Structures are given as structure tokens and as C-alpha cells.
Amino acid sequence: MKEMPDILWLEEIRKEDIPAVGGKGASLGEMSAIGLPVPRAFVVTSYAFRQFLVEAGLDKTIFADLAEVDVDNSVDLEKAATRAKDAVMKARIPALLKKKIKSAYEEMEDSRMVVAVRSSATAEDLPDASFAGQQETYLNVKGEKNLLFAIQKCWASLYGARAIYYRAKQGFDHQSVNIAVVIQQLVFSEKAGVMFTSHPVTGEQQSIIEGSWGLGEAVVSGSVSPDKYVFDQKSEKVVDRLIANKRYQIISSGENGTKTVEVRKDIQDAPLLTDDEVRKLAAFGKVAETHYGVPQDVEWGIVGDNIYILQSRPITTIRASAQATPPAETGTEKILLQGQGASPGIASGKVVIVRDVKDTGIVKDGDIMVTQMTNPDMVPAMRKVAAIVTDEGGMTCHAAIVSRELGTPAVVGTKTGTQVLRNGQTVTVDGEKGLIYEGALTISREKTRAVESIAAPVITATSVKVNVSMPEAAARAAATGADGVGLLRIEHLILGLNKTPGWFIANNREEEFIQELYRGIKTVLDAFYGKPVWVRTLDAPTDEFRNMAGGETEPIEHNPMLGWRGIRRDLQSADQFRLQVEAFKRLWEQGYDNLGIMFPMVSHPQEFIRAREMMKQWGVDVDNATLGVMIEIPSSAILIQDFINAGIRFASFGTNDLIQYTLAIDRNNQHVAGMYQPKHPAVLALIDSAIQCCRENGVEVSICGQAGSEPPMVKWLVEHGITSVSANIDAIAKIRETVARTEKQILLESARSRNA
Ligand code: PEP
Ligand code: MG
């Protein structure tokens, strides 16, 4: 390699500098040179990386090791990757290089020293090798120490299992692949997204722009459904506009990270871009495309009136003829599902629902892989399948990009693919039209165009969530298509350990307890990725702990049901509460923003306030955490306004207890079972007034007691304005139907009364 500087500023870079600054760096340099609004950046070159490898002696060890690996053996591959990454992370950055990086960073003063650090591999971003997510990106990096750490992480990412696998399969030699790192002023986009400067499937002269509120990561990762604008370059008009419900956004969390928060209600459904902004973006895109001579895949962000072009790389997969050969038609096509045609072609096969990368082991050649959203770990499986269907994402999500590159038909953003389609079911995927048909069909193009009515999935305005107690039931619960988890009872998880929380503390095995909790909850969060999961803090009565190790120290209570359980126990035994909070905290730190915490057995707002204060003391960002309460003691229903004033984000009726405490009927006592009435007028009065109060205050109000799995009660609840219900796994289908029917009846009746 010829001598090159360790650091290059964007202004010094041209597209021929790929060997030094990688595809991303070179592309940014070119963009800035042609006058596009690129945020300030410098690149730690591949030369600097090489020097680092050589000075640390890693060039000798790593490459020899990688040459031996059988990449099709995933255990070997993982081990080799871990060895290589560890070696990179442990090695020292040469002192002179460190100094140069620090002084370049200091020069970026106007960036408020907050930068994005992105790897820029010298083989990445090139035609035929654009595997999205292959290497690292760190947003919001602040301070020299964090910057150096992020750079080293980027270097290490060159030796991730995925990257090693791709290189081996694509015939790249590990030795000749280098990595540069781009350090760029972070633009705190108010809205952001991606743009294809020509249609990525047909190559037409259209700019396809997708965007959502907040930072662009949400759109790139496919974790939100973005707005989509199609700008026709000939007529210079916006010819298509799809405004999505943009409920969540990723924003800076102030420290070295980002967080997902709900978008302000009034702008969730508002168009993201004005026509003028679409036109300007398209114009910038065209400048880039013209300059590079090939259509570009551009990341953009907008702050106030300023448009920034954040990244640009060639679209690698526009084909002159994207049409699959239309086979003969049978005339019996039934459309099961619709989404966006992200990668053209028609394929039939057996559905395999992939909920987790672990499921990819069951994927066989020729299957139809159906998944919420693909991620880089799934790529080996994506290679095998005949077609890919995802619930989420747009034309630029991971699944779309990789499928196009693999030449695999794909339909993305079906919303309900993983619910509507069943494992083993034979379907036909049309990756151009975005349709999934029942059976192995032969379809003519005209016929698919002529199809007009598409079966709509059952969508209810009232969310229908599911109750989960054991993490192993999470997948089955998720398979119901529930809108989230309205109650995760963690005591089942803890009871399964056969030791009381006190035992773990007394035996100095706190970490073990935290880990068990963390793992169990994570299983559920993963199964419900992107959907709310309300985890309830410990609520086991003392008699249930009695027979476990440590049970001998549990107090003996005459009436455990009215005793030391729920939040009252946690507030008095801070150690036990702290261990639970530690597990929650780790999950939040891992980015599980779908985690909400629900306190059981609250009877006074002070209990909520105290619990939140304790969480805050233990380092939880309580202002941004979703914290709510169960309403299962009449006092909490009566004082609901005070709870709302105290800051609860949601409330959920625990009718199992609410009924027993309102009517003085032991829920477990068969002698009085006949008097245990969910629809007792006193119970309904408490519920009704609490619902109205929550609604007036914009607080989500739900039910997670057994009554939420009973159609007549659910009908009443929907009529009285409940915002969500959470039912048992087996009841989801009938509850969803009850909710849908009740909602329709309400609409019908209101239409009739208007006409009367
Ligand atoms: C309830 O009381 O309704 C409830 C859901 O909690 P549990 O059944 O666990 O007491
Ligand atoms: Mg209860």
C-alpha cells in the first residue's frame, strides 16, 4: 500500500480514494466536493488501521487464524470472529495516531463535539457487495475516550462473523480488505430518511423518498413504517404520496446513544415532507446520480430549513428486465396478503416463519421465509430461500436491500405476514406487485393487475394484547398476532427458580437472579419486538414462596392475599426491588424501548411515587420510562386522578383482584365462587369511572385480569371506551373478533342515530 495520511478531511477526499477512506468516506468526499450539503467529517484512513494492525502484531495472528476457518461451520466461525475481534479491541492504538485523531476531533468544534462514527470498509459499498448493516455505526459519540473506543469497535467489526462469512463467499481475501472510519458531525435530524434517485426495481426516472420523524436510523433499520413520496423527474411533480402512521421516532438520548420515543400525537399522521422539500431532496439526489453516473441510495436529514445529505452509495440492483417469466394461469388465485414489492420475481414454496435468528436453522432450500424484519444474522438463511416476506419495513429496509442483491423475490411491510401466514402453508410470492397468494400458483401478469379486492386483515382500534407468564410461551403468544403484552407476570419466572429473592441476596447470588430475570423478560421482548410489553414487578404472595429455598424466612400470614405482596413488599424490601430494577435497566440500556413496567397492588399514589423515586436513585431515566399501575384495589380506581397527576403512563385493571377486593369474595374459594361476578354493578362502576378519567387525561387504560378474556365483559369495556385489552393466549382470536364487532356496532349505531 502506498503511503497515505492517517487522517483525511472530507474536502481532501475524492472518489479515487476508496482504498484509503472506504466507499462511504469516498462517497462523502465526492458529495462535499460537488457542493452537496454534507455535514463536516474526517476519516481515519485504512492506512491508519493497517499501521495499528502491524504495530500490534495482529497482521500475523489474525489472518493466519481466519485462513483456517470453515465458514459454513457456524460454531467455528463464531469462535474465530470472537478471537479476532477481541484481539483488535485489546490492542493499543499507536500513540501518534491517537494524538492525530484527538486533534482532528478538537477541530470539529462547531459540531458541539457530538459525532457519528461509521465504519467504511474498502470492499463495502461497492457494486455487488452492499450488505446493509455489515459494519458498525455509532451515533451520538461524545468525548475523546468514547470516540477512540467507537473507532476501535469499527475496526473490530471487520472481523464479525457475518463479515468473515460474506468475504469468504464473495471471494474477498481477508488480508486485502481494509477499513476506514468516518467521524462526522452528527446532525440531529428532526426528520430523516432515505432516497433512491431512480426507481430501485424498474430503474424509472423517479426519486423514491422514504422518511420519518427523528433520526434516520428508524427508516434504515425498517423499525418504522415511513412516509413514501414518489417524485417524477420528467413532470417534476410528486406523483405518489403514502402517509404512514409514524408513531415512534429515534432521537438522541443525550448520552452516547439514542432512544425510541413516541412521536407527538398531532404529527404522527401528518405528512413528513412538503412538496418543496421533496423537490429539493430529489434535486440533490439527481446531482449525486449525475456526478457518479449511477443511481444512488441516499440518506438524508432535515433540521429546520436545512437539508443534509448524510450518505450516498450506488444502488446495485436495478436490472434491465426485472420481470419473471409469467407462467400459465389457473384462475383460482386467492390473495392472502399485500405489502410493497421490494425485489421482483415470482416464487412458490412452503412458509417458514422466522421469529428469531435462532429459527433460521429450520429454514430449508426453497422455503418462503416470513419474518417480522430480517437482520444481518439471518442472511445465510436468506440465501437459501425462494422468497422473503416481512411484516415491517419499506423499500430501503434491510430485507429489501439484501433480497434485491441476492435476486430473491421479496415483499416487505405486509404488517401481518407473520400472523396471517402459517408454517408449512404453500404460498406464491409476487415480489414485484407485492402480493402473496395461497398455494403454488402460476400467475399471469394481467391477472394480478386485475385483482381488485384484497382481503383486509382484522385491525381493531382498541389494541388487543396478550398476557404472558412463562417466557417459553412468548413465541406462541406472539403468534396470535397480539398487539403487545399487557401483562408479563414475572413471579412465574422467579417461582421457577425454586429459590426466593431473599435467598439469592442472602447467598450473594444477586447477579444470578438478575440474569434469570433479564433473560426471561428478554425472550418476551424479542418475541414482541417493536410492540409494547408491560412487565409487572414481583407479585407473589408469601405462601407461594414458602416451599422454596429461602421460604423459611418468609413471614407467616393469616391472609396472604391481603398481605405482603406486590408493590408494598418491594417498597419495604428495597434489595429485592433493586434486583428487578437492575434487570429492567439492562434491558432499557440494550435498547428495548418496548419495555414498560407495571406496579401491582397499588392502593395509594404515594406508592407509585416512592417506587419511581427508588428507580431513579438506581439510575433509571424515569422521565422517559413507561411506568404504570394495576388497578386491582378499589382505592386505586377511586384515586385514579391522583395517580394520573403523579405521572402514570398507563393503568390496567386487574379484575381478578379488583372483584375480590370490591365484593369481599376470595377469588380462590370455591364456596363463594358463584358470587364472584365480574359484571357486578359496583365493579363496573369503579371500572367505568376510572376509564373515563384515564381517557380525559389521555392515559392508556387496559385490562389484564381474566375478565379481559371474556367476550361479554370485553364488549362492555369497548363500549365504555377502554383503550386496550389484554387476554390469554387462547382467547386472543375470539377477543379480537369481539372487539372488532363491537367497534363496528358502535360506528353503525352512531351512523344510524345521525341519520335518524
Ligand atoms: C388481576 O388481579 O386481575 C391480575 C391480573 O393479577 P393476578 O391475577 O396475577 O393477581
Ligand atoms: Mg392481581
Residue with grid cell 435530524, as numbered in its chain: 189
Which one, of 281, 273, 303, lies nearest residue 189 by Cα? 303
Does 473 fall in a domain?
Answer: yes
Give 397 Cα–ligand 1 centroid separation in angstroms. Answer: 40
Same domain, 498 and 532: yes
**Minimal CA–CA distance to 343: which of 366, 365, 315, 362?**
315
CA angle, 242 then 244 then 245, to 5° = 160
Backbone angles phi, psi at 718, to 5 degrees: -65, -40
**256 domain residue, yes or no:** yes
Single residue among 186, 208, 229 that ends a domain in this structure: 186
pLDDT of residue 127: 37
Active site residue 704: yes
**Closest residue CA from atom 1 of ligand 1:** 654
Residues 12, 60 within the same domain: yes
Cβ–Cβ under 8 Å, residues 374 and 402: yes
Given 186, 201, 234, the domain boundary residue is 186
In terms of average pLDDT, the best of 88-97, 138-147, 602-611 is 602-611
Same domain for 625 and 517? yes
Calculate what percentage of the chain has a pLDDT beyond 90.
Answer: 46
Side-by-side strand order, sheet with 227-232: 237-242, 227-232, 206-213, 191-196, 296-303, 306-314
**Do 27 and 156 sit in the same domain of this protein?**
yes
Give yes or no for residue 563 having a pLDDT over 60. Answer: yes
User: What atom in ligand 1 is closest to the CA of residue 600?
Assistant: 6
Mean pLDDT of 279-301: 89
Alpha-carbon 240 to chain mean position? 27
Active-site entry in 174, 199, 398, 693: 398
**In a domain? residue 95:** yes
CB-proximal residues (5 Å) to ion ligand 2: 632, 654, 657
Task: Let me know whether 527 and 568 are in one domain.
Answer: yes
pLDDT of 321 reads 30
* Neighbour-count burial for 493-517, b at 16+ CB within 10 Å, e otherwise: bbbebebbbbbbbeeeebeebbebb
SS3 of 470, please? coil
Q: Over the stretch 345-397, which tens digit does the pLDDT of each residue have?
A: 888 899 999 988 778 888 888 899 999 988 766 777 888 899 999 998 776 56
Range with the poorest average pLDDT among 105-119, 184-198, 420-434: 105-119
| Residue 324 belongs to a domain | no
Please report, for the domain that includes residue 117, its CATH number. Answer: 3.30.1490.20
What CATH number is attached to the domain comprising 413?
3.50.30.10
pTM: 0.46
Among 125, 152, 186, residue at a domain's last position: 186
Q: Rounded to an integer, what distance in angstroms lies between the CA atom of residue 707 and that of residue 667?
A: 13
Helix (H) or strand (E) holding 212: strand 206-213
Catalytic hit among 154, 397, 693, 704 = 704
Q: For residue 2, tell me if it sits in a domain.
A: no
- With a Cβ cut-off of 6 Å, ligand 1 is lined by 487, 489, 539, 632, 654-657, 704-705
Exposed, middle or buried: residue 321 (CB in 10 Å: 0-12, 13-18, 19+)?
exposed
Both 715 and 583 in a single domain?
yes
Asked whether 373 and 398 are in contact (CB, 8 A), the reply is yes
List, for residues 491-546, the tens digit of each pLDDT value: 877 876 778 999 999 999 999 999 999 999 998 998 888 899 999 999 988 988 88
Full residue range of the structural domain in which residue 606 is found: 463-752
Q: Are 156 and 89 in contact (CB under 8 A)?
A: yes
Highest mean pLDDT (candidates 87-101, 104-118, 282-296, 738-752): 87-101
pLDDT tens for each residue of 565-599: 999 999 999 999 999 999 999 999 888 889 999 99
Instruction: Name the DSSP letter for residue 263.
Output: P
Give the separation between CA 252 and CA 141, rounded to whole angstroms: 10
For 148, the grid coordinates are 477512540
- Average pLDDT over the chain reads 85
Confidence of residue 218 (pLDDT cuts 50, 70, 90): confident
Among the listed residues 160, 260, 244, the one whose alpha carbon sits nearest the alpha carbon of residue 529: 260
pLDDT at position 432 is 81
Q: Which one of the ligands is nearest to 540 CA? A: 1
Same domain, 339 and 372: yes
User: Which residues on adjacent β-strands are paired with residue 597?
Assistant: 535, 627
- CATH code, domain carrying 645: 3.20.20.60
Specify if 319 maps to a domain: no
Q: Which ligand is nearest to the CA of 706?
A: 1
Q: Which residue has the higher pLDDT, 371 or 398?
A: 371
Tell how far the Cα of 624 is from the centroid of ligand 2, in angstroms.
Answer: 26
In CATH, what number is assigned to the domain containing residue 261?
3.30.470.20
Virtual CA dihedral for 416, 422, 426, 432, nearest 10 degrees? 10
Alpha-carbon distance of 701 to 720, in angstroms, equals 11
Q: Which residue has the cell 397492588?
A: 601
Answer yes or no: 398 catalytic: yes
Ligand 2 centroid vs 585 CA: distance in angstroms?
24
* Lookup: cell for 80: 474465530
The three-state secondary structure class of 152 is helix
Report if residue 557 sits inside a domain: yes
Number of residues written out for the chain: 756
User: 101 with 199, same domain?
Assistant: no
Return d(Cα 602, Cα 609) in angstroms, integer.
11
pLDDT at 487 over 90: yes
pLDDT digits (tens, 9 = 90+) for 648-680: 999 999 999 999 999 999 887 767 878 888 999
pLDDT per residue over 91-131, tens digit each? Answer: 999 999 999 999 999 888 654 568 888 888 776 444 333 33
Domain match, 480 and 539 both: yes
In the chain, pLDDT over 70 holds for what percent of residues? 89
Confidence class for position 481, pLDDT limits 50, 70, 90: confident
Cβ partners under 8 Å of residue 634, min gap 6: 658, 661, 662, 686
CA 554-557-560 angle, to 5 degrees, is 95
454 lies in a domain? no
Same domain, 402 and 475: no
- Is pLDDT at 324 greater than 60 in this prediction? no
Q: For residue 379, what pLDDT is reported?
A: 77
Q: Rg (Cα) of the chain, in Å, rounded?
A: 28
What number of helices (H) and strands (E) belong to the chain? 28, 29
Closest ligand to C-alpha of residue 567 is 2
Predicted local distance difference test score (pLDDT) of residue 130: 37
Residue 749's pLDDT is what? 87
132 or 403, which is more confident = 403
Grid cell for residue 696: 380525559
**Which residues sit opposite 708 in a β-bridge?**
none
Sign of the C-alpha dihedral computed for residues 138, 185, 397 and 132 taken in this order: negative
Nearest CA to ligand 1 atom 8: 656
Edge-first strand order for the sheet with 595-599 is: 700-703, 650-653, 626-631, 595-599, 533-536, 485-489, 463-468, 724-727
Whether 307 and 339 map to the same domain: the answer is no
CA of 393 to the centre of ligand 2 (A): 38
Work out which ligand 1 atom sits closest to the CA atom of 467.
Answer: 5
Domain count within the chain? 4
What's the confidence (pLDDT) of residue 48? 95
- Output the CA 651–ligand 1 centroid distance in Å: 13
Note whether 585 and 693 are same-domain residues.
Answer: yes
Name the closest-CA residue to atom 3, ligand 1: 654
